[in-house]
Amino acid sequence: MSEMDDLMAALQKTPYHHWMKDEGVPIAEGYGIEDARQLKLAPWPRMGGRGSFIHLYGMEGLTGMYVAEIPPGDALKPEKHLYEEVICILSGRGATEVWQDEGEKQLFEWEPWSLFSPPLNTRHRLINGGREPVKFLAVTNAPLVMDIFHSVEFMFDCPRAFSDRYRGEDGYFSVGQKQYAVGMQSVWETNFIPNVKEFGLRDDFFTKGPDIKLVQFEPCGNTLVGHVADWPVGLYHKAHYHDAGAVLMILRSQGYTLLWPKELGIRPYESGRGDEVVEVKWSEGAVLSPPGGWFHQHLNAGAEAARQLAIRYGSRIHRTGFHLAAQRKIDGVYISVKEGGTMIEYEDEDPEIQRQYEAALKRTGVPCKMPPVRYSP
């Protein structure tokens, strides 16, 4: 049994995992899922639709994930909960109602690839307004809440209204206009993104590689936030590691991600431990989650620019100690391991990574555009 299998077996003893099993829907596991839109779903009585949990190795009890389906012309049951949730619509069109127990309902519409977050502990209901099923993916921090309080009743029936997060303001679910820099990160405060797959990214982020663009979004006062990143044809990200719990979804192109424990060092192939590097292939709709403390590197092998959605901890407004500690310093994921961070510069990476990448591009007929590298000793 591998280290990851041991961890997954241990997590089965947590209140969150017991609750997942009691919900009576499938639980998909692994380093990643090939296409979240194709998951096997089952009737989900509590939700009023169909669904499946996704429990990936890298989530490690910090985040939860599920896919749900709403039949045409139908709606899910209203719910509220004491965990944060970020929702990405995979297919179909509809609307969401949101309200506090004593407040008026606010309704906003969405389409494929819309992204939003019901404010903490507000009642909300997702409605299918079309003639085809709606599918959506949701990432939550339910495992933390459930494992701390180990009370389903408290999690789903707490009377507390978090009015500092939501008071029924007009335009709350409009596209946010506030964007600014915090440290090395571009931050966008928005409670709604109409189409996370197609909106224009304007923020260059050369720290991660040439011509990479990235913006972090901060919805609804959450600690669970995210970012969207683009990178060009024929290029790949620099490797880095961070805390567990990040969920990555591919919105465009195809390629693969390399994962390896930081204990293998920055050059696992050169040290004779390349057989311990995990490769996860991806294309549109794939989801993966790098284990905590594992280097990971995303390589675009497709004929179009890649786009990735990440839902993770790391709010620049509401910071968490465990996330900061895993980075070793502020912005540590963007700072070289030689300078006390957790990122591997191109000149320090294992040369075998680029050799394998060039071979992969030859098989697909895509030109390699990686800059020349003089590897450090």
- The CATH number of the domain holding residue 140 is 2.60.120.10
Whether the predicted pLDDT of 327 surpasses 90: no
**Average pLDDT score over residue span 41-61:** 97
Q: Which of 156, 191, 220 is the last residue of a domain?
A: 156
Does 186 lie in the same domain as 132?
no
Domain presence at residue 126: yes
Domain presence at residue 375: no
Cα 182–Cα 224–Cα 40 angle in degrees, nearest 5: 140
Q: Above pLDDT 90, what percent of the chain? A: 88
Spatial separation of the C-alpha atoms in residues 285 and 290, rounded to whole Å: 17
Encoded tokens for 273: 């431990």
Does 205 lie in the same domain as 339?
yes
Task: Give the pLDDT confidence of 59-114 residue by residue, as tens digits.
Answer: 999 999 999 999 999 999 999 999 999 999 999 999 999 999 888 999 999 999 99
Does 197 lie in the same domain as 56?
no
Residue 329 is predicted with a pLDDT of: 80
- Biggest alpha carbon distance in the chain? 65
Does 148 lie in the same domain as 47?
yes
Question: Does residue 226 or residue 184 have the better pLDDT?
Answer: 226
Domain presence at residue 162: no
Does 273 lie in the same domain as 329?
yes
18, 87, 120, 186 from 179: Cα distances, Å: 40, 21, 23, 7
Residue 115 is predicted with a pLDDT of: 98
Cα 147–Cα 152–Cα 155 angle in degrees, nearest 5: 80
Does 126 lie in the same domain as 47?
yes
Confidence of residue 1 (pLDDT cuts 50, 70, 90): low
Does 266 lie in the same domain as 149?
no
Q: Look up the domain containing 140 and give its range.
A: 3-156
Confidence of residue 330 (pLDDT cuts 50, 70, 90): confident
Residue 320 is predicted with a pLDDT of: 87
Domain presence at residue 308: yes
Encoded tokens for 266: 């920055």
Q: Which of 156, 190, 219 is the last residue of a domain?
A: 156
- pTM for this predicted structure: 0.96
Whether the predicted pLDDT of 328 surpasses 70: yes
Q: Which residue carries 């790391």 as its tokens?
A: 314
- The tally of domains found in the chain comes to 2
Contact 163, 310 (CB under 8 A): no
Domain presence at residue 169: no
Question: Does residue 366 or residue 209 have the better pLDDT?
Answer: 366
Residue 102 is predicted with a pLDDT of: 82
Spatial separation of the C-alpha atoms in residues 136 and 96, rounded to whole Å: 12
Spatial separation of the C-alpha atoms in residues 92 and 374, rounded to whole Å: 48
Residue 103 is predicted with a pLDDT of: 84
Residue 57 is predicted with a pLDDT of: 96
Task: Give the pLDDT confidence of 192-229 residue by residue, as tens digits.
Answer: 999 999 999 887 788 888 999 999 999 999 999 999 99
Does 150 lie in the same domain as 8?
yes
Task: Give the pLDDT confidence of 269-281 residue by residue, as tens digits.
Answer: 999 999 999 999 9
Q: Which of 121, 156, 191 is the last residue of a domain?
A: 156
- One-letter amino acid at 46 equals R
**Average pLDDT score over residue span 152-176:** 95
Spatial separation of the C-alpha atoms in residues 195 and 114, rounded to whole Å: 5
Whether the predicted pLDDT of 123 surpasses 70: yes
12, 51, 109, 196, 214 from 115: Cα distances, Å: 30, 18, 11, 6, 16
Does 147 lie in the same domain as 183?
no
Task: Give the pLDDT confidence of 3-24 residue by residue, as tens digits.
Answer: 788 888 888 899 999 999 999 9
Strand order in the sheet with 32-33: 32-33, 287-288, 247-252, 306-313, 224-231, 213-218, 185-189, 178-182
Domain presence at residue 247: yes
Does 137 lie in the same domain as 192?
no
Q: Above pLDDT 70, what percent of the chain? A: 100
Domain presence at residue 138: yes
Does 45 lie in the same domain as 78?
yes
Does 187 lie in the same domain as 152?
no
Contact 250, 283 (CB under 8 A): yes
Question: Does residue 321 or residue 49 have the better pLDDT?
Answer: 49
Domain presence at residue 144: yes
